[in-house]
Amino acid sequence: MAETQLIKTYLVIPDLHIRSTIHTYLSKFQVRISDLHEEVCFEVHGSDSLKEAKEALTSQSIDFFIVAQDLVDGNAFDLFSLIKSTSSHLPFAFMSKHITLDLALRATRMGSIDILTVPFSADELRSVAKKAAHQIILDRQTKALEGERKKIRFEFLAVLAHELKAPISAVESYLQIIKTRILGNDFAKYDHMIERSLIRMDGMRRLIFDLLDLTRIESGQKKREIQKINISELIGQIIESLAPMAQAKRVTVMNNLPANMTLMGDIVELQIVFNNLISNAIKYNKNAGQVLLEGQNTGTFLKISIRDTGIGLSADEILRLFGEFVRIRNEKTANIEGSGLGLSIVKKILSIYQGTVTVQSKIDVGSTFEVVFPAVAN
């Protein structure tokens, strides 16, 4: 459970009896702001003068003021003007023994969150304190979220800049070689370099989009829409969208999932999971190879396996496979581009569902990826 949040409150009230009564009451007051899921309590300070209140405003990080109409050296509106000029978010309440409509309007127009008319009840005081606390907590949460967003945005840019260095360098270097005709004037000698440059550009594009997906998942910013999803139908649609990729390699993709396999989930998340796994099964397959999808619903879990007849992975490669920016590089994968993020995104999404992904593989035989969703996700 989160810590209780402290609201530092300053009473500018010349009447010592009223000031000490409010001081005593608020110091013991603890309240739950339900919609913001926070508990708050109050630390109370005070004085009778505008001068001391101004000093507190500048030096004591006060969160909330309750100010009496008439002070020993000024009035409440003098302080309100100062508060507005230094911090537009700091809430304050107006207190008066002889409230009139004009005074109430003036206080409200200046931004007072409420008005306490003396004599006031404990309930009225609680209501004002809770209103102030709500505004303060909301402000704090908004600032924290903005800070978190800035941090995530910075990390996204730092990672993107780092990962783009290699492909940009590769494309630039190829262009320099072509420009200076190092291999002579036979243009056919440069075809391979042009092809490789296009592959690396495609890789950069995919990196950017994958990194955006990963950032959205990690920041929790994307709103999830949970609904009942027919997994077999979803996978059928994905296979259709990947048909050009499969046709280019003459790979056959077979969907043997039971027709009635359903899951409660966010459709975009599940599309990302299965699109990554099925496109990998095609990309890393042999020409004229096969991809087979099978599934099982035992009541306790939902299991989907994606088996390919591809190039396979060594034990070392399997250990590294789900890390971020891991690309398995060998002579067989030299012409296959990937961001290195796909499987780490799959793993992160599955963890949201308390699911898992594992792989079994044999070099030159193929790989089987198995995705398991526990019954609670169904």
Partner 1 sequence: MSENNQYTILIADDDPDLLDQLKIRLESKNYTILSASSHNEAAQIIEERPFDLAIFDLVMEFQDSGFILSYKLKQKYPERPVIILSSMVHELNVQNQLTAQPDKAWLKADAVIQKGVRFEILHSEIERLLAAATNT
Q: What residues make contact with partner 1 under the rule CB under 8 A? A: 162, 165-166, 169-170, 172-174, 177, 182-183, 196, 200, 316, 329-331, 334
Nearer to partner 1 among residue 84 and residue 205 (C-beta): 205
Closest distance of CB 173 from partner 1, Å:
4
Residue 376 C-beta: closest distance to partner 1, Å: 38
Radius of gyration of the chain (CA): 32
Q: What is the 3-state secondary structure (H, E, C) of 171-203?
A: HHHHHHHHHCCCCCCCHHHHHHHHHHHHHHHHH
- Which residue's CB is nearer to partner 1, number 333 or number 378? 333
For residue 119, cis peptide bond before it (omega within 30 degrees of 0) = yes
Write out the DSSP string of 97-147.
SS--HHHHHHHHHHT-S-EEESS--HHHHHHHHHHHHHHHHHHHHHHHHHH
Identify which of 342, 366, 360 has the alpha carbon closest to the alpha carbon of residue 286.
366
Residue 183 Cβ, how far from partner 1 at the closest point, in Å?
7
Q: Which residue number, 27 or 173, has a Cβ lying nearer to partner 1?
A: 173
Shortest distance, CB of residue 165 to partner 1, whole angstroms?
Answer: 5
Torsion angle in degrees (nearest 10) through CA of 51, 56, 59, 65 = -130
| Least distance in angstroms from the C-beta of 166 to partner 1 | 6
For 63, phi and psi rounded to 5 degrees?
Answer: -95, -25
Give the residue with the Cβ less far from partner 1, 87 or 169: 169
Q: Which is nearer to partner 1, 162 or 250 (CB)?
A: 162
Q: Given CA atoms 219, 221, 224, 230 in this order, what sign does their dihedral have?
A: negative
Comparison of 142 and 330: residue with beta carbon closer to partner 1: 330
DSSP letter at 310 equals B
Task: Decide whether 113 or 178 has the Cβ nearer to partner 1.
Answer: 178
Phi and psi, residue 359, nearest 5°? -140, 145
Instruction: Kindly list the distances between the CA atom of residue 34 and the CA atoms of 104, 125, 131, 136, in Å, as whole numbers in the listed order.
Output: 29, 19, 12, 14
Specify whether the CB–CB gap between 265 and 377 falls below 8 A: yes
**Rounded CA gap, 349 and 352, in Å?**
5
Asked if 355 contacts 346 with a C-beta cutoff of 8 angstroms, the reply is: no
Q: What is the largest CA-CA distance in the chain?
A: 98
**What is the token pair recorded at 73?**
């050296």
Q: Smaller CB distance to partner 1: residue 87 or 173? A: 173
Hey, how many other C-beta atoms are within 10 angstroms of the C-beta on 114?
A: 18
Q: How far is the CB of 142 from partner 1 (least distance, A)?
A: 35
Cβ closer to partner 1: 4 or 169? 169
- The CB-of-309 to partner 1 minimum distance in angstroms stands at 24
**Minimal distance in Å, beta carbon 174 to partner 1?**
7
Nearest-approach distance from CB 197 to partner 1, in angstroms: 8
Residue 338: CB minimum distance to partner 1, A: 13
Q: Which is nearer to partner 1, 16 or 166 (CB)?
A: 166
Contact 350, 293 (CB under 8 A): no
| Spatial CB neighbours of 237, under 8 Å, sequence gap ≥ 6 | none
